[in-house]
């Protein structure tokens, strides 16, 4: 898919000019696609990841494109790390306008095979991480009377995915957290929304496909074909298509949209809401 075919790519202009965006899980996949889209829209970028070298390399790739960007390392499941990430952005840019909570992981197991260690790492990274990061950045937004908080969850919050009990449960909890926070900070000029990616062409989906193929004793291409057949549009999403919606939701134009959860899934979810 060419850049010209990405929804909204030509209309981006400088909709985020001079805005400062902190993106967790920003070293690759959807997070990096969001960073690229924000950069084209004029934002200054802070890419955070538990893999610090990967974050630095991602920031370097953004600078090579002409965008202002820094890479930061931290574990969002730790409150101290979340605070340190916020301080690092404030030290560099003086403010934080946009937070994208994208850090996450999946453990693909049937429910009764899930271990406590699996539960702990998913809850800590996805739910605690979203909470700690929001607490760390909100004071800067409240002080300025403007902010955007965006959580990347999953279509699993609307239609559970087999063998992904942890993601189904914890990402639904993040959606509830975000909707609650949205009501509390609306008076401060801050919007809070969630975006629900469906099956998207990323390394994570490739890894899940390979794990399923190994368990079933089939070729990963067969797993991929099944996924595509389950999607009305007949293909996986390009991460840039997801990033286009993210860029709109954090823009000035989306100032009256808050507390929402928006699927980018090619029609995979069968429910009405």
What average pLDDT score do residues 226-249 get? 94
Average pLDDT, the chain: 92
CATH 3.40.50.720 for domain 15-198+237-264, yes or no, is yes
Question: pLDDT digits over 199-227, tens only?
Answer: 888 877 777 778 788 888 898 888 889 88
Q: HSE of 36 in the Cβ direction (CA atoms, 13 Å)? A: 20
Confidence of residue 271 (pLDDT cuts 50, 70, 90): confident
Confidence of residue 13 (pLDDT cuts 50, 70, 90): low
* Terminal Cα-to-Cα distance of the chain (whole angstroms): 29
Question: pLDDT digits over 70-80, tens only?
Answer: 999 999 999 99
What average pLDDT score do residues 153-178 get? 94
User: How many whole angstroms separate alpha carbon 107 and alpha carbon 79?
Assistant: 23
Strands 98-101 and 44-49: unpaired
Q: Is the pLDDT of residue 236 over 80?
A: yes
Q: Is the pLDDT of residue 14 over 80?
A: yes
Confidence of residue 24 (pLDDT cuts 50, 70, 90): very high
User: How many whole angstroms separate alpha carbon 8 and alpha carbon 241?
Assistant: 9
What average pLDDT score do residues 177-200 get? 97
User: How many whole angstroms separate alpha carbon 16 and alpha carbon 257?
Assistant: 16
The two structure tokens encoding residue 241: 């298509």
Q: What is the pTM of this model?
A: 0.90
Question: pLDDT digits over 249-259, tens only?
Answer: 999 999 999 99
Q: Cβ(172)–Cβ(121) under 8 Å? A: no
């Amino acid at each position: 898919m060419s850049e010209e075919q990405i929804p909204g790519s030509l209309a981006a202009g400088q909709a985020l000019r001079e805005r400062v965006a902190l993106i967790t899980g920003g070293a690759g996949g959807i997070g990096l696609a969001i960073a690229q889209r924000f950069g084209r829209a004029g934002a200054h970028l802070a890419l955070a990841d538990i893999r610090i070298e990967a974050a630095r390399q991602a920031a370097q790739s953004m600078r090579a494109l002409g965008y202002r960007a820094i890479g930061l390392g931290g574990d969002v499941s730790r409150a101290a790390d979340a605070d340190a990430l916020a301080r690092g952005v404030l030290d560099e840019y003086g403010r934080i306008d946009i937070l994208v909570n994208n850090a996450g992981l999946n453990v693909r197991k049937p429910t009764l095979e899930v271990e406590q260690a699996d539960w702990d790492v998913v809850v800590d990274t996805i739910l605690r991480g979203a909470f700690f990061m929001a607490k760390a950045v909100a004071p800067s937004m409240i002080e300025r009377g403007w902010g955007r908080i965006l959580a990347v969850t999953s279509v699993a919050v609307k239609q559970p995915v087999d063998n992904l009990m942890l993601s189904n449960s914890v990402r639904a909890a993040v959606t509830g957290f975000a909707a609650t926070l949205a009501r509390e900070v609306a008076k401060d000029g801050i919007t809070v929304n969630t975006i629900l990616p469906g099956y998207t062409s990323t390394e994570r989906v490739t890894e899940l496909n390979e794990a399923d193929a190994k368990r079933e004793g089939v070729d990963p291409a067969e797993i991929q074909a099944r996924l595509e057949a389950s999607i009305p549009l007949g293909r996986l999403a390009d991460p840039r298509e997801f990033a286009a919606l993210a860029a709109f939701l954090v823009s000035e134009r989306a100032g009256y949209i808050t507390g929402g959860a928006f699927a980018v899934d090619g029609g995979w979810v069968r429910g009405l809401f």
